[in-house]
């Protein structure tokens, strides 16, 4: 049984069925990429898992427990936002520490966790700077640092690299996958970029109009696309 399971998950906004029904099983430690064209429901599905939206039907289970009654903070997941979601007036240290402070963790423990995360992310020399004094890649690392210190069950990423230039995007893809392996934390990563999906994923979930067209490894999808949609989507350049 997967660590995160979606069973007949549905979401409608008013009369619009954005997610008509999704079944999915995500294993511990897996790097799963939701890929599909703009508007297909990737962000909505991620927000349902995060608890930022309520499901209209079906169930989401984490370690076998239905999470419907749990608010986002109680689901043990950390969403990594784009780098612009940093607090500009706070130092890097305080940006990374923010969630832990809110949770009431003692300062000494917070300092230890922030120092460890900064070391992993090569941010140690920048802890006293403000985000405005950092490069785009460093800001993205701070955003990741905020998620890491909470030691979540899974990281949820929603197109975290879309603000970055092409060269930095390639570098950050590698950094994110390296980090995910090192921490052995499950990741769900949303992108509309096929190359990103093919290079980062253990398992790709191809979405189209709120439905799963195919789930498989990058090689499975490349070698055995289930249908023309998947074949066309995987093959088409960005
Ligand atoms: P993606 O992330 O794949 O681009 P989204 O999940 O953001 O797609 O959106 C899927 C569909 O749901 C779109 O048609 C979008 O307009 C619609 N949608 C998303 N959020 C809302 C909302 N809060 N209210 C109404 N419609 C929404
Ligand atoms: Mg989106």
Does the CB atom of residue 12 touch ligand 1 within 6 A? no
CA atoms within 13 A on the CB side of 56: 15
* Torsion angle in degrees (nearest 10) through CA of 179, 92, 164, 169: -20
Nearest CA to ligand 1 atom 26: 13
pLDDT of residue 235: 77
Query: What CA–CA distances, in Å, run from 154 to 26, 68, 109, 126?
Result: 10, 17, 21, 26
pLDDT of residue 179: 93
Does the CB atom of residue 125 touch ligand 1 within 6 A? no
Question: Are the CB atoms for 191 and 212 separated by under 8 Å?
Answer: no
Query: How many Å lie between the centroid of ligand 1 and the Cα of residue 229?
Result: 20
Does the CB atom of residue 40 touch ligand 1 within 6 A? yes
pLDDT of residue 104: 93
pLDDT of residue 1: 58
Does the CB atom of residue 37 touch ligand 1 within 6 A? no
pLDDT of residue 56: 97
Does the CB atom of residue 46 touch ligand 1 within 6 A? no
Query: How many Å lie between the centroid of ligand 2 and the Cα of residue 41?
Result: 7
ipTM tops 0.90: yes
**CA 159/CA 200 separation, integer angstroms:** 13
Taking the whole predicted model, whether its pTM rises above 0.90 is answered as yes
Does the CB atom of residue 18 touch ligand 1 within 6 A? yes
Question: Which residues of the chain fall short of a pLDDT of 50?
Answer: none
Ligand 1 nearest atom to the CA of residue 13, by list position:
25
Query: How many Å lie between the centroid of ligand 1 and the Cα of residue 61?
Result: 23
Burial annotation 141-159 (CB, 10 A radius, 16+ → b, else e): bbbbbbbbbbebbbbbbbb
């Amino acid at each position: 049984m997967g660590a995160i399971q979606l069973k007949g998950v549905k979401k409608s906004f008013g009369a619009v069925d954005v997610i008509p029904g999704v079944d999915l099983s995500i294993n511990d430690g897996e790097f799963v990429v939701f890929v599909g064209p703009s508007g297909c429901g990737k962000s909505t599905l991620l927000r349902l898992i995060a608890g930022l939206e309520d499901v209209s039907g079906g169930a989401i289970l984490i370690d076998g427990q239905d999470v419907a009654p749990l608010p986002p903070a109680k689901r043990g997941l950390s969403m990594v936002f784009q780098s612009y979601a940093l607090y500009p007036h706070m130092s890097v240290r305080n940006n990374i520490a923010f969630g832990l402070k809110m949770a009431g963790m003692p300062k000494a423990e917070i300092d230890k966790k922030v120092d460890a995360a900064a070391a992993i992310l090569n941010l140690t020399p920048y802890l006293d700077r403000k985000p405005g004094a950092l490069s785009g890649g460093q800001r993205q690392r701070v955003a990741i640092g905020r998620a890491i210190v909470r030691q979540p069950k899974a990281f949820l990423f929603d197109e975290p690299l879309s603000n970055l230039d092409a060269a930095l995007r390639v570098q950050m893809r590698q950094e994110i996958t390296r980090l995910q392996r090192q921490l052995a934390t499950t990741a769900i990563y949303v992108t509309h970029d096929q190359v990103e999906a093919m290079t980062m994923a253990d398992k790709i979930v191809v979405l189209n109009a709120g439905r799963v067209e195919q789930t498989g490894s990058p090689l499975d999808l490349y070698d055995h696309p289930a249908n023309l949609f998947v074949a066309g989507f995987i093959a088409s350049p960005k």
